[in-house]
A and B are shown apart, each in its own frame.
Chain A
Amino acid sequence: MTDTILRMSGITKTFPGVKALQDVNLEVRRGEIHSICGENGAGKSTLMKVLSGVYPHGTYEGDIEFEGEPCKFSGIRDSEHRGIVIIHQELALASNLSIAENIFLGNEQATRGWIDWNKTNAAADELLHRVGLSESGVTPVIELGVGKQQLVEIAKALSKKVKLLILDEPTAALNDEDSAHLLRLLSGLRDEGITCVIISHKLNEVMAISDRVTILRDGRTIWTENTPDLTEEKIISGMVGRDMEHRYPEHTPTIGEEALRIVDWTVYSPTQPDRALVRKANLTLRRGEIVGLAGLMGAGRTELAMSVFGRSYGINISGQLFKDGKEIQARSVREAIDHGIAYATEDRKRYGLNLIEDIKRNVSAAALGKLAKAGWVDGNEEYRVANDFRGSMNIKAPSVEAVVGKLSGGNQQKVVLSKWILTDPDVLILDEPTRGIDVGAKYEIYTIINRLADEGKAVLVISSELPELLGICDRIYTLSAGRITGEVPRAEATQESLMTLMTKEVQEVAP
């Protein structure tokens, strides 16, 4: 049976400065579950946004053919009208409305303009039965966990007479039980003739459920294969298989004493208090050493870092921190900074910078106390310090009185780093330090990281880009589903070995 329901050919999508997709081809057969795999940033989500009309026809090159007819979607409503429904990783339910209201949002069951509630709730109950959710349609969505909300999303898709269901990382936020239920449901839908495209990082799930797998890498299609012909190893090598270039400065570390030890660190989600995001993680950072933390999206990297940094994320945090061998308490960001810990966020615009202020005031923001006497800031000293950073970090701006919001990503990142270096930390946690930065600036950031290590600071780099971790780190931890699954010295690490550890399921201890 080779009835092709969807054919995307020659898709190229360009953002300013970046080719996100380059001549991508995808062919999905009717009634199959088709997985798309690739590293973060490989272009999976972009491809799905092209397909669903989030990026309308005309903003990309190439052709889409659905059920044999060419498609020129100008928005998400067009694609839904044809039976293509996408369920995003961040669920899009109105949490104060009932399940039934959510299912029929924008598609209200009305007679002559008035909503027929009996019809709405009855139809909702029937759909909920199909997805195996035993809740009533009148239950407010806010009372449901993420797993059940996902099922509501699928019920909503079914109400739109879906033919092709796209799920972006459907199980990333789910616990094992909910994941298993969801996967069973998808198999059931396949038997009813609904085609599914799944974007997933969880290779065991990909192997278990999908009929075929397509690999994307750096915005290109690498191959499409039947699942029975595949192994997890083959998928991994497809996902990472690019050459390492000389994009990283040479660096010989001088590794000293232990600076920070994290022991049995456990963090629970603030929105789902029963879900552990980090489970009994143990890490050791030493002076002069650059340590990497690798993990796929949802593995708990940022959650681990932020919870260590003054408990700025998560609840019911347990575990111990040892700084220079002595146990410390860091219950607030201020305490963490005072203990010599710094954390540069992965989202500098939202969490790292005051975009409407100038470079000077951003640089001084975390260390105002150092520039002040008796509560009064020495403005001239502040200027001098900021100007020194402008020189040493090579921040390209006319003066330190330039507004940070107008700088390029690379220069903004240098401002963030300056801000933390000014606090004179012993331990620097850098979360995605080169995200959204062009190649030249990346090299500069790597040089700065090396310099910090040479000054005797312990550096922890969190990154989604394995080549980057392999290029700059002396030692790499892997994190999978909140657990440390491996600790690999640089000499022994390869992208394949890391990816295997990052996708490893840990089953010894039940959650």
Chain B
Amino acid sequence: MTAAPSSAGVRAGKGPNGPQGQAPRKVNFDLKQSGIYIALALIVVAFAVATGGDLLAPQNLSNIIVQYSYILVLAIGMVLIIIAGHIDLSVGSVVAASGAFSAVLMVQMDVPWPIAVLATLAFGALIGAFQGYWVAYFGIPAFIVTLAGMLLFRAITYKILGNKGIGPFPDDVRTLANGFTPGFLGNVGLGDALGGADLFSIVVGVLVVIGMVFVQLRTRSARVRYNQAVDPGWLFGLKVAVPALLVMFLVVQLARFRNLPWVLILLAVLVVGYTLVTNRAVFGRQIYAVGGNLQAATLSGVKVKSVVFWLFVNMGVLASLAGLIFAGRLNLAGPTAGNSFELDAIAAAFIGGAAVQGGVGKVVGAITGGLIMGVINNGAGLLGWQTESVMFVKGLVLLLAVAFDVWSKRRTAGTR
């Protein structure tokens, strides 16, 4: 994902540094953070080999992104809630309720789709505000509130839909969920081995890579200006080059298939935006403060209740966005939509390095965790595995990921 390298680069340089800035440029490899990227790489390689390269084929890469996008959207909201020390079990039901709500507006009432989409997002915000009130201001544990929400919003979905689905959705919504950017600039030949590819997609890819390199260089030069420790040149180069190559590979493969999926662009915007919020915004900092030590945050003047409340509102909006994408993709709002999505989203956050006690976690980590599960799902599908085998492997991955987290924490113990 596009934001991965920039955030990893900013946080990785933790070498010692005197006030005079004569820093011994020590390589500091954060095993815990890099661990999930390495795990994702290993899983991708393993499945690529097992499927004889089919996993990385243009159409399949596109499928992984489109099929798993709604989980990734949920994972972004979920990791924020987990960082603050809470949990949300209701997102699957909110996905279903939002899909149903939007279907009623668009299909049955013929509301223009942009208005219907906004109304659905507002519907999600309202649900989030409802749950946020009980958690933040009334003081009921989020586990209980959202367990209730899971039942409540599923019930509301059934009430709206009865026992059947509503569809089909307007084309524009289906395009958002399922469609691709049109070939604005026509095709370009990439030689005999690769064949033709969409020029617009490739231009976008190149611009993204340039942007990534620019941000990395700017961050590095700012750190140097403030006498902060930076990675040695070769490692910095590696940290810039590897993600850039990955992005270009992904873009080229997608360009060879059917251009860029709209959901990928949406996801990229969300990931960059939320990464910025968690790293740089006051609100983002307060999420970590609340999860890291609630009492200390309170005594530092953080409005703890309001932070938690808005996190749930945010989760509601993202869940209704996921609901729109899911309904648009199936072209149907069904009463069982989003079943057990909450578990996938929670697993994504924890695989991605979030801590059960709160205070730790990253948006990019959650996305990586979600991709790990997406690749397992997809690869297992290509290999024709049974559903139970997929479940089994996903369960093991979750357990091992958290075990690794606990282990690495114990290894660097002495904190408390």
A: residues with CB less than 8 A from B are 309-310, 312, 332-334, 336-337, 343, 345, 349-357, 361, 364-366, 368-369, 372, 375-377, 379-380, 383-384, 387, 390-391, 398-399, 401, 403, 405-406, 419
Contact = CB atoms under 8 A, between A and B. Distances in A.
B414 interface: yes
25 contacts: A332-B301, A334-B301, A336-B301, A337-B301, A350-B295, A351-B295, A352-B296, A354-B293, A355-B293, A355-B416, A356-B360, A361-B288, A365-B285, A365-B297, A365-B300, A365-B302, A368-B282, A368-B286, A369-B282, A375-B282, A379-B279, A398-B17, A399-B228, A401-B229, A419-B300
A375 B283 contact: yes
A334 B293 CA distance: 17
A399 B360 CA distance: 20
A276 to B, nearest CB: 23
Given A350-B295, A365-B297, A377-B285, A355 B19 contact: no
B295 A361 contact: no
Interface of B: 14-17, 19, 222-223, 225-229, 279-283, 285-286, 288-289, 292-293, 295-303, 359-360, 414-416
Given A349-B416, A406-B415, A357 B301 contact: no
A351 B302 CA distance: 13
Contacts, number: 105
A81 to B, nearest CB: 34
Contacts of B14: 399, 401
List the 5 shortest-distance A-B pairs measured between CB atoms, nearest first: A405-B415, A398-B16, A354-B292, A366-B300, A334-B301
A372 B228 contact: no
Contacts of A332: 301, 303
A391 B18 CA distance: 10
Given A369-B282, A375-B282, A357 B359 contact: yes
A375 B286 CA distance: 11
A406 B289 contact: no
Contacts of A351: 293, 295-296, 299
A356 B281 contact: no
Given A356-B415, A384-B226, A387-B19, 15 more contacts: A332-B303, A350-B296, A351-B293, A355-B293, A357-B359, A361-B285, A365-B289, A365-B302, A366-B300, A375-B281, A380-B223, A399-B15, A399-B228, A403-B415, A406-B415
B17 A399 contact: yes
Contacts of B225: 380
A130 to B, nearest CB: 40
Contacts of A312: 298-299
A360 to B, nearest CB: 10
A390 B360 CA distance: 24
Contact of A379 (B16, B280, B298): B280
A355 B227 CA distance: 25
Contacts of A369: 282
A471 B334 CA distance: 74
Contacts of B19: 387, 390-391
B282 A372 contact: yes
Contacts of B300: 333, 365-366, 419
B282 A376 contact: yes
A356 B292 contact: yes
Nearest to B225: A380
Contacts of A372: 282
A508 B359 CA distance: 50
Contacts of A403: 415
A377 B416 contact: no
Contacts of B298: 312, 333
